[in-house]
């Protein structure tokens, strides 16, 4: 890209930007070239590791872990012995080992990891899923943004906020699904009640035409028009066989359901794949329940007994499945929690919160696998070569989706904020190695 090129682009968005931010962006542009936005990703699956996974016991093996490092199918890259299935697919995965978060507790950390912003009382920032759905829009009648299931059975509003659309409004909030592994899994309001046939719906709508007669004048002008359009879309959704099929896990073979795992983790990821295949844009598979990765006690046991095996099984199955179906090229998979865990084991045999250095993994959607970005020190305590911020990860993902990662939104206070917001509110920079 020519210098003139980026100056021209720069001057468009220079308003309200400090010279520091500007140079930061200019670097990003110079390194990546804004002129040929790459666009491979069409959909995204986020596997949410609720509670914050121990990085040195998973993607960043260290001597201070009980678990041994094992070789992968990529020379020179090792992962924890807890992830043998993942190791076979390392060529498709990229691991970032120098993540840094600015928050050290669950609701705030989750919020930060999902939005790139620390929580404030006045503004609710959109999750990166909401941003992708806003920028790329729905693909068909299937709802674009879904969350399956809500990780917490108790009502924890400020945990939930991270997944929301924030100030973008309810149009970009995820549709929240119940636990797909349940016997009676059913999506609320997506199935007509027993006995309510489409004939009956027609009847009801003719009655509605009569009783709304007095407002017909107003109907022409906006509000009701919007509701009418929404009603049509709703009707299409509840009557569309495609939508119905998208949520119907019973259409998967027993073999596939078993391979993903018959628990919340496995079935939520399987449902995510079904949805993405049917047209969803962004699905958060949040099968791990409240604090499941929050191993303050008995870290090693929990990882050995449940967390490691379920993650390994489901993630490796997903990658194989996507690849077999030809969806891996267009489906970006993100595997992360809200932060990492302490290098030292505490007196309860647990590991506590560690936001300074942790790992996440990406695959598919145009991400170049088989590599590790960043490195942590001997113990996995601090990065040895600079940090990667959530904003950088978001910028990478947006770029993979062909979204202008330098874009800003205006908050309700009229404050411009980057959709890829990095450390210290600097714009995030795509990780060039990954694209």
Partner 1 sequence: MEPNRKKRHSMTAGIGVLAVLCVIGLMDARGLADDPSGEPTLISLRFLPEGAALWGSGAAQRFMVLGAYSDGLERDVTDQTWFILSDLEKASIDAAGRLTARADGELELTAEVGKVTAKARVTIEGSDEQPPFSFARVIGGILTKRGCNAADCHGGVKGKNGFKLSLNAVHPREDHKWIVEGGEFQVLSDEASGPKTPRIDPEQAEQSLILLKATGEAAHGGGRRFETGSSDYQTILEWVASGAPYGAESGEEPVVIDGIEILPRESVLGPDGRQQLLVTARLSNGRREDMTDQVTYKSNNKEVARVNADGVVEPVKPGETAIMVRAAGHAASARIGVIAQTLANYPEVEGYNVIDEHVFGKLRKFNIVPSQLCTDAEFVRRVCLDVTGTLPPGHRVREFLDDPDPDKRNKLIGVLLASPEYVDYWTYRFADLFRVSNYGQSGSKYAAMYWQWIRNSVAENKPYDQIAMERIAAQGFDGPSRHYYHIGGELPKPPNEMAEQVRVFLGRRLDCAQCHNHPYEAWSQDQFWGLSAFYGDLTRLGHLGIDMVIIDDPAGHGEVGAGQQVIHPRTKQVVLPTFPNGRALSAAERVDLRGHFARWVTEHPYFAEALVNRIWSIFFGRGLVEPVDDFRSTNPPSHPELMALLAEEFKTSGYDLKHLMRLIVQSKTYQLSGLPNDTNREDEMNYSWHRPRPLDAEVLFDAICQVTDVYGEFGGAHNQRRAVNLVAPDLHPLRFLEVYGQSDRMVVPERKNEANLDQALHMLAGSTYNEKLGRDGGRLDRLLEGETSDREIINAFYMVAYARLPGPDETGVLEAMIAERADRKEALEDMVWAMMTSREFAHNN
Give the binding site for partner 1 (CB under 8 A). Answer: 15-16, 18-19, 120-124, 143, 155-158, 160-161, 169-171, 175, 188-193, 196, 200-201, 203-208, 210-215, 218-219, 223-224, 226-227, 230-231, 233-235, 237-238, 412-415
Query: 169 vs 182, which CB is nearer to partner 1?
Result: 169
Helix (H) or strand (E) holding 5: helix 3-13
Q: Judged by CB, which is closer to partner 1: 185, or 358?
A: 185
Q: How many CA atoms lie within 13 A of 366 on its CB side?
A: 19
Are the beta carbons of 307 and 292 closer than 8 angstroms?
A: yes
CB of 157 to partner 1, least distance (A): 4
Are the CB atoms for 264 and 50 separated by under 8 Å?
Answer: no
For the bound state, the minimum distance from the C-beta of residue 388 to partner 1, rounded and expressed in Å, comes to 21
183 alpha carbon, distance to own chain's centre: 26
329 Cβ contact partners less than 8 Å away, ≥ 6 residues apart: 40, 364, 365, 366
| Rounded Cα–Cα distance for residues 380 and 56 (Å) | 6
Task: Name the residue nearer to partner 1 (CB basis): 70 or 237.
Answer: 237
- Name which of 344 and 415 has its Cβ closer to partner 1: 415
Please give the distance of CA 305 from its chain centroid, rounded to a whole number: 26
Measured from the CB atom, the residue of 201 and 249 that comes closer to partner 1 is 201
Query: Cα–Cα–Cα angle for 95, 132, 272, nearest 5°?
Result: 65
Q: Which residues contact 110 (CB under 8 A, 6 or more apart)?
A: 50, 159, 162, 338
Of the pair 15, 326, the CB lying nearest partner 1 is at 15
Considering the complex, what minimum distance in angstroms separates the CB of residue 196 from partner 1?
Answer: 7
Helices 308-324 and 264-278 cross at an angle (nearest 10°) of 20
Nearer to partner 1, 95 or 175 (CB): 175
Closest contact distance (angstroms) between CB of 429 and partner 1 is: 20
Q: CB 422 → partner 1: shortest distance, Å?
A: 15
CA dist 345 and 50 (Å) reads: 20
Cβ proximity to partner 1, 314 vs 406, nearer residue: 406
Q: Which residues contact 375 (CB under 8 A, 6 or more apart)?
A: 97, 98, 383, 384, 385
CB of 217 to partner 1, least distance (A): 8
324 CB burial (10 A radius; 0-12, 13-18, 19+): exposed
CB of 10 to partner 1, least distance (A): 11
Integer Cα distance of 106 and 159 in angstroms:
7
Nearer to partner 1, 138 or 370 (CB): 138
Tell me how far, at minimum, the Cβ of 383 lies from partner 1, in Å.
Answer: 22
Burial pattern 128-149, b for ≥16 Cβ within 10 A else e, equals: bbbbbbbbbeeeeebbbbbbbb
How many Å apart are CA 394 and CA 389, to the nearest integer?
Answer: 9
The distance of closest approach from Cβ of residue 29 to partner 1 in the complex, given in angstroms and rounded to an integer, is 19
């Amino acid at each position: 890209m020519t210098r003139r090129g980026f100056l021209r682009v720069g001057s468009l968005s220079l308003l309200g930007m400090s010279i520091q931010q500007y140079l930061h962006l200019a670097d990003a542009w110079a390194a990546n070239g804004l002129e040929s936005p790459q666009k491979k990703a069409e959909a995204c699956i986020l596997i949410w590791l609720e509670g914050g996974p121990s990085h040195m016991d998973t993607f960043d093996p260290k001597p201070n872990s009980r678990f041994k490092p094992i070789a992968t199918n990529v020379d020179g890259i090792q992962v924890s012995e807890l992830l043998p299935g993942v190791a076979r697919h390392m060529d498709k995965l990229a691991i970032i080992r120098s993540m840094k978060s600015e928050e050290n507790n669950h609701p705030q950390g989750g919020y930060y990891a999902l939005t790139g912003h620390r929580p404030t009382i006045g503004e609710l920032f959109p999750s990166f899923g909401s941003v992708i759905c806003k920028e790329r829009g729905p693909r068909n009648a299937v709802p674009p943004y879904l969350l399956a299931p809500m990780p917490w059975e108790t009502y924890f509003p400020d945990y939930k906020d991270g997944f929301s659309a924030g100030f973008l409004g309810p149009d970009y909030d995820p549709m929240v699904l119940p636990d797909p592994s349940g016997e009676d899994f059913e999506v609320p309001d997506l199935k007509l009640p027993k006995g309510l046939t489409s004939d009956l719906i027609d009847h009801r709508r003719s009655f509605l035409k009569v009783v709304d007669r007095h407002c017909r004048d107003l109907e022409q002008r906006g509000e009701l028009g919007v509701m009418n359009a929404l009603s049509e879309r709703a009707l299409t959704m509840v009557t569309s066989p495609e939508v119905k099929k998208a949520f119907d896990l019973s259409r998967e073979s027993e073999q596939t359901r078993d391979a993903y795992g018959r628990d919340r983790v496995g079935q939520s990821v399987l449902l995510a794949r079904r949805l993405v295949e049917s047209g969803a844009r962004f699905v958060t598979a949040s099968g791990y329940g409240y604090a499941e990765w929050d191993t303050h006690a008995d870290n090693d046991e929990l990882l050995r007994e449940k967390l490691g095996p379920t993650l390994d099984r489901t993630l490796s199955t997903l990658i194989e499945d996507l690849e077999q179906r030809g969806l891996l090229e267009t489906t970006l998979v993100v595997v992360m929690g809200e932060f990492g865990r302490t290098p030292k084991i505490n007196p309860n045999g647990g590991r506590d919160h560690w936001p300074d250095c942790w790992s996440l993994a990406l695959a598919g959607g145009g991400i170049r696998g088989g590599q590790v970005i960043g490195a942590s020190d001997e113990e996995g305590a601090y990065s040895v070569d600079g940090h990667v911020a959530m904003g950088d990860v978001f910028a990478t993902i947006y770029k993979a989706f062909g979204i202008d990662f330098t874009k800003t939104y205006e908050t309700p206070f009229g404050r411009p904020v980057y959709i890829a917001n990095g450390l210290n509110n600097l714009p995030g920079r795509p990780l060039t190695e990954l694209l």
